[in-house]
């Protein structure tokens, strides 16, 4: 991409950007950071009209479309978009660049659960001095809590994964059921009926994927993790609440009413398309994913909220979600912050994430936009699935936390409770072993550990 030589006029700077940039009161790092405790209009104008190169690491497909809009608004800024891999490869390369002291991007996409991992090492820029704190009420509460730590804000939310139930209405009808189970007691009863009358499993519990299990614990009000942002972590993955939830699933698994196939494999894809699974307790990003994976079953699926532990409750958990953070090493923090903010906070690019790339939004104005909420999904019989999940998103607990060594949390899950699920064994013992491994690791890393 060649450098754009023209400069943005004051007219292209959005009113929202100027308002939030003029209201905060902390200093920031970087060579073009604020000279005082406030990012002034003059500092913002200078940064955004000075020819500048930014590097952006992200795995979102076709995000260049949003970046093109940003560059049109700010012609002096060139953004190099790089996909260095998703999951472990992304984080390994990011850590390597940080450790080397060079090569890190200006802006990096991070999953919610990795925010503390990078904030702990001082790798993320606090965005409050640039006005990020003024954006909080524009986002779903719990998603903002995922990027805010105390008085600091470390990223701008991009997408999320509130959980619901996607189910085969034809299979449930064949089993004599006219709707999705409302409570988990109903769900267990329905699982037996579906298995007996149709041969299908009502759903699958993947043994090597911590995300959905953690999401189900989140829904149940279990707080397995805690972190004070400094030296103390709370680890309580084998609490009474966690064991109650997993005992429920152990019972269904051992009765062969729930399958335990690894997810995102050929066999699992075939199970979704072929009726092996009559449903999927999953996240808001899954409806579009499923419509591509199981296209031959179009019109047979329905979306509903998760079953509830108590009749009358209306709560959900989350699986997935990410945000865009500015690295503390960025030499151009004002421009980097504005990139992270602009693509996720201005209506046009943020809406495109939901309608073009099918990311589930975190911005309230997008969730309420008819272009998103009024879509009728043919795959789901014309149901307004986006509107349903927009309501579900409001029911996710805002206080859920992560540990600052999430890589180990995931690998340890696979070796402990994940192994117990795969072997249809003792889930309680799996949780106990998971607890032991996490506590031992935290102690080895020098954290103060609490377990209540």
- The CATH number given to whatever domain includes residue 53 is 3.40.190.10
In total, the chain counts a number of residues equal to: 452
Residues 128, 326: contact at Cβ < 8 Å?
A: no
282 domain residue, yes or no = yes
Contacts of 272 (CB under 8 A, 6+ apart): 280, 290, 293, 294, 297
| Mean pLDDT value across residues 357-367 | 98
400 domain residue, yes or no = yes
| One domain, residues 249 and 279 | yes
Provide the domain limits for residue 265. 161-319+377-450
In tens, the pLDDT along 140-191 reads: 999 999 999 999 999 999 999 999 999 999 999 999 999 999 999 999 999 9
Residues 303, 287: contact at Cβ < 8 Å?
A: yes
Report the mean per-residue pLDDT for the chain. 92
Packed helices 64-73 and 333-345: angle between N→C axes, nearest 10 degrees = 120
In tens, the pLDDT along 22-55 reads: 333 333 333 444 444 678 899 999 999 999 999 9
Q: In whole angstroms, what is the distance from residue 379 CA to residue 287 CA? A: 9
Q: In whole angstroms, what is the distance from residue 365 CA to residue 159 CA? A: 13
262 domain residue, yes or no = yes
- Using only C-alpha atoms, the chain has a radius of gyration, in whole angstroms, of 23
| One domain, residues 193 and 256 | yes
CA-closest candidate to residue 327, choices 205, 147, 73, 155: 155
Q: In whole angstroms, what is the distance from residue 379 CA to residue 375 CA? A: 12
The count of structural domains within the chain is 2
**What stretch of H or E contains 153?**
strand 152-153
| Mean pLDDT value across residues 360-365 | 98
2 domain residue, yes or no = no
Which ranges of 136-276 would DSSP assign to H, the alpha helix? 141-145, 169-174, 184-198, 210-219, 240-254, 266-274
Q: How many CB atoms lie within 10 A of CB 127?
A: 27
| One domain, residues 326 and 443 | no
Q: Is 408 exposed, middle or buried (0-12, 13-18, 19+ CB in 10 A)?
A: middle
Q: In whole angstroms, what is the distance from residue 394 CA to residue 367 CA? A: 11
| One domain, residues 153 and 176 | no
Instruction: Give the pLDDT score at 26.
Output: 36
229 domain residue, yes or no = yes
Q: In whole angstroms, what is the distance from residue 360 CA to residue 159 CA? A: 5
Contacts of 202 (CB under 8 A, 6+ apart): 167, 187, 190, 191, 194, 195, 257, 258, 277, 278, 279
Domain final residue, candidates 350, 373, 396: 373
Instruction: Give the pLDDT score at 37.
Output: 62
Contacts of 138 (CB under 8 A, 6+ apart): 345, 363, 364, 365
| One domain, residues 194 and 279 | yes
What percent of the chain is modeled with pLDDT above 90? Answer: 91
| Mean pLDDT value across residues 393-406 | 96
Residue 360 DSSP label: P
73 domain residue, yes or no = yes
Beta partners for 16?
none
Domain final residue, candidates 373, 400, 417: 373
Furthest C-alpha separation in the chain: 71
Instruction: Give the pLDDT score at 38.
Output: 73
3-state secondary structure at position 160 = strand
Q: In whole angstroms, what is the distance from residue 137 CA to residue 139 CA? A: 5
pTM over 0.85: yes
Q: Nearest 5 degrees, angle CA 287-CA 158-CA 388? A: 35
| One domain, residues 176 and 81 | no
Is pLDDT of 450 > 90?
yes
Token pair recorded at residue 15: 């009113």
CA-closest candidate to residue 288, choices 223, 358, 237, 392: 358
Instruction: Give the pLDDT score at 12.
Output: 30
Residues 292, 379: contact at Cβ < 8 Å?
A: no
Residues 356, 65: contact at Cβ < 8 Å?
A: yes
Q: In whole angstroms, what is the distance from residue 337 CA to residue 332 CA? A: 9
| One domain, residues 149 and 264 | no
Question: Higher confidence at residue 452 or residue 75?
Answer: 75
| One domain, residues 49 and 178 | no
Q: Is 394 exposed, middle or buried (0-12, 13-18, 19+ CB in 10 A)?
A: middle
| One domain, residues 279 and 404 | yes
| One domain, residues 14 and 101 | yes
Token pair recorded at residue 368: 């309420």
| One domain, residues 149 and 177 | no
Residues 315, 395: contact at Cβ < 8 Å?
A: yes
Residues 191, 256: contact at Cβ < 8 Å?
A: no
Residues 258, 249: contact at Cβ < 8 Å?
A: yes
5 domain residue, yes or no = no
Q: How many CB atoms lie within 10 A of CB 329?
A: 20
**What stretch of H or E contains 83?**
none
């Amino acid at each position: 991409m060649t450098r754009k030589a023209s400069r943005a006029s004051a007219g292209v700077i959005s009113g929202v950007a100027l308002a939030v940039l003029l209201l905060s009161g902390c200093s920031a790092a970087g060579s073009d950071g604020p000279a005082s405790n406030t990012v002034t209009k003059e500092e913002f104008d200078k940064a955004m009209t000075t020819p500048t190169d930014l590097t952006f690491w992200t795995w979102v497909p076709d995000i260049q479309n949003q970046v093109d809009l940003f560059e049109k608004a700010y012609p002096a800024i060139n953004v190099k978009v790089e996909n260095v891999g998703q999951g472990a490869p992304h984080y390994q390369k990011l850590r390597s660049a940080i450790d080397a002291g060079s090569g890190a991007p200006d802006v990096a996409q991070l999953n919610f659960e990795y925010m503390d991992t990078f904030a702990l090492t001082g790798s993320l820029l606090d965005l409050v001095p640039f006005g990020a704190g003024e954006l909080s009420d524009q986002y779903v509460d719990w998603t903002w809590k995922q990027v805010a730590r105390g008085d600091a804000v470390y990223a701008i939310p991009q997408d999320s994964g509130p959980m619901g139930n996607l189910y085969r209405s034809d299979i449930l009808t064949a089993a004599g059921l006219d709707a999705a189970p409302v409570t988990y007691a109903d769900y267990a009863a329905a699982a037996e009926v579906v298995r007996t009358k149709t041969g299908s499993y009502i759903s699958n519990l993947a043994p090597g994927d911590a995300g959905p299990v953690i999401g189900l614990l989140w829904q149940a009000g279990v707080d397995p993790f805690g972190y004070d942002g400094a030296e103390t972590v709370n680890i309580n993955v084998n609490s009474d609440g966690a064991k109650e939830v997993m005992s429920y699933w152990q019972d269904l698994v051992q009765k062969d009413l729930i399958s335990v196939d690894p997810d995102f494999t050929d066999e699992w894809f075939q199970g979704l398309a072929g009726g092996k699974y009559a449903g999927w307790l999953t996240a808001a990003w899954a409806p579009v994913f499923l419509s591509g994976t199981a296209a031959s079953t179009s019109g047979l699926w329905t979306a509903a909220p998760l079953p509830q532990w108590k009749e009358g409750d209306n709560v959900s958990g989350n699986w997935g979600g990410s945000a865009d953070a500015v690295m503390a090493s960025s030499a151009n923090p004002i421009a980097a912050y504005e990139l992270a903010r602009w693509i996720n906070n201005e209506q046009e690019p943020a809406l495109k994430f939901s309608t073009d790339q099918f990311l589930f939004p975190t911005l309230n104005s997008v969730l309420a936009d008819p272009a998103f909420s009024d879509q009728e999904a043919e795959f789901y019989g014309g149901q307004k699935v986006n509107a349903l999940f927009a309501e579900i998103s409001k029911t996710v607990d805002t206080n859920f936390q992560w540990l600052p060594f999430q890589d180990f949390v995931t690998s340890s899950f696979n070796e402990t409770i994940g192994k117990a699920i795969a072997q249809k064994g003792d889930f309680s013992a799996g949780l106990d072993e998971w607890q032991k491994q996490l506590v031992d690791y935290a102690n080895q890393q020098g954290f103060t550990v609490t377990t209540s």
